[in-house]
A and B are shown apart, each in its own frame.
Chain A
């Protein structure tokens, strides 16, 4: 600092400082401008596709609106109808809770199970891993159509059951068997979950197992007291994602209802007998088939609130069973 020699006739100190400060402020302003310019695609997108639609959707939810005519304010009556008058809404809630209650635990258990199988084979790991993961790469629509065929009453799976004289359900034709059929599809596509568990299992330090073995822990105790706590963050992650996806469950059910019977008739949403009417199916039908846009907006806000609430409850509850290495939560 002191190395710069004062030239004779130099600008007084204060003027120079002020000049420098002004220059710095100008360059900060310039930087701010450039940053905003870089951000501009997102700023436009965020306002047009998030902020406005969120607000508009909240407003629509208090109106009766069919796009053709202007929205008419109806207060809380959409919400009131939803909870007290719409039997199909409750049907869709029951179906959605059913799929969450069964699919999420089954996927987690099956994901852990197949990941453990992968950790125990020494040779051929990468081949097995590719095979286990392959179904996950199949586009959902193609997978749903594939299982529609596999589970058709005369299809390969029923032929297989027939060999062993087991009951042969009608699967996607029988309202009691549609959702179990979807479970099979969901388990076949478990790859993503499995890969996460595989990574977590390989991350468990082997000295923990050795220590447990020295203490005399059997295989089950090692799994229960070493493996499970160590992979609990991934279990938690899978459960949260699984529950959120459960509330958004749509494509599989829509595809199967749509092409469900082989007659080629246009089947209603949730066919057969509303057994495949999930929350989002109901929303889709109300909004984009019946054009009850106000009611659909109300449904979408309820969905939003429920998903947020569930996520919060899961995060709260996780403190009791999720174990993070390093101790932070």
Chain B
């Protein structure tokens, strides 16, 4: 063990200066990242005349903007649509993803390797390649203008969910399934009683990812539901506010954008752990 020698004052001063410099850079960057939020929030609390003027701070504070968004536009409808899409999509990917991931990771059968490669290849496929025929299919099914094209396909397996769950299922010791098998449990019982309880963190992570993806999704709702205002999600509706009100209403638009962001930020703070687990599971690291 080496005894700690007192640090010479010159070195201590250098360290202090370095630390001040590092924190100044970090603080400057923090301000750059945060300032947009401040301006957006400030604008959402202004009257529209003020928002169009050059003033930067609300006077008076118009908290009613957050209420007016719901009365000036069918904002509740849009919110419900967004929730419907996000919740059902999440249920869909989990329900269909769990058994598929189980078969791909914990059962031995012919064609398993090939099936896994195909799952991976759909993960890489840019979605634009399939949208033209999919659109035609949904036209034939009379699903265009509804939320069905966004939700129903997700009940038939989602590559990202399957991949992530499979990676997690692989880490569960094989002895646990073998023990259950000796006790006469069927594959379904093993899946539901052994694997699913152990895989709760991974299932929570994929559920969170899918919820956020669907909530934020713009392209699919625009493509499949864009022609019917009754089916607009918040993401689509927010881009139409200026058109709907025949001129920009910065205050309401910013208030709407903040309301749209709020659930995501809340989820982020409550579920940071789940989030981090999910990211490490996908193995996207060094």
List A residues at the B interface (Cβ < 8 Å): 31-32, 34-36, 38-39, 41-42, 44-46, 48-50, 52-54, 56-57, 60, 67, 114, 117-118, 120-122, 124, 128, 131-132, 134-135, 137-142, 145-147, 149-150, 152, 154-156, 159, 188, 195-196, 199-200, 203, 230-231, 233-234, 237, 244, 247-248, 250-251, 254-255, 258-259, 262-266, 280, 283-284, 287-288, 293, 296-297, 300-301, 303-304, 307, 325
Contacts and interface: CB of A to CB of B under 8 A. Distances in A.
30 contacts: A31-B107, A31-B108, A32-B109, A36-B103, A36-B109, A38-B100, A39-B115, A41-B95, A46-B118, A53-B130, A57-B129, A124-B23, A124-B26, A139-B216, A139-B235, A141-B238, A142-B257, A142-B260, A146-B254, A146-B257, A152-B250, A156-B35, A231-B286, A248-B127, A254-B239, A258-B243, A259-B241, A264-B243, A264-B244, A293-B132
A117 B153 contact: no
A125 to B, nearest CB: 9
A248 B125 CA distance: 11
A173 to B, nearest CB: 12
A49 B218 contact: no
A255 B236 CA distance: 9
A42 B162 contact: yes
Nearest to A187: B32
A48 B254 contact: no
List the 5 shortest-distance A-B pairs measured between CB atoms, nearest first: A45-B156, A42-B157, A262-B248, A53-B130, A56-B133
Contacts of B126: 244, 247-248, 303-304, 307
B237 to A, nearest CB: 9
B285 A199 contact: yes
Nearest to B263: A139
B135 interface: yes
Which of A41, A131, A300, A307 has most B Cβ within 10 Å? Answer: A41
Contacts of A155: 39
B130 A50 contact: yes
B33 A134 contact: yes
Contact of A67 (B29, B56, B136, B246): B136
Contacts of A50: 122, 125, 130
B265 A137 contact: yes
Contacts of A195: 279
Given A121-B22, A264-B247, A287-B131, A41 B96 contact: yes
Contacts of B215: 139
Interface string B219-244: 10011000000000001001111111
B276 to A, nearest CB: 9
B120 interface: no
Contacts of A56: 132-133, 136
Interface string B112-144: 100100110010011111111111110100000
Nearest to B119: A42
**Could you tell me the dominant secondary structure of chain A's interface residues?**
helix
B100 to A, nearest CB: 5
B36 A146 contact: yes
A258 to B, nearest CB: 5
Contact of A49 (B110, B156, B191, B265): B156
A60 B103 CA distance: 35
B245 interface: yes
Nearest to B247: A264
A140 B29 contact: no
Contacts of A46: 118, 122, 156-157
A301 B129 contact: yes
A137 B264 contact: yes
A132 B30 contact: yes
A67 B157 CA distance: 28
A36 B111 CA distance: 10
B247 A263 contact: yes
A141 B248 contact: no
Given A139-B235, A288-B223, A296-B132, A255 B218 contact: yes
Nearest to A201: B286
B129 A303 contact: yes
A293 B57 CA distance: 49
A189 to B, nearest CB: 10
B160 interface: no
A300 B127 CA distance: 9
A39 B103 CA distance: 7
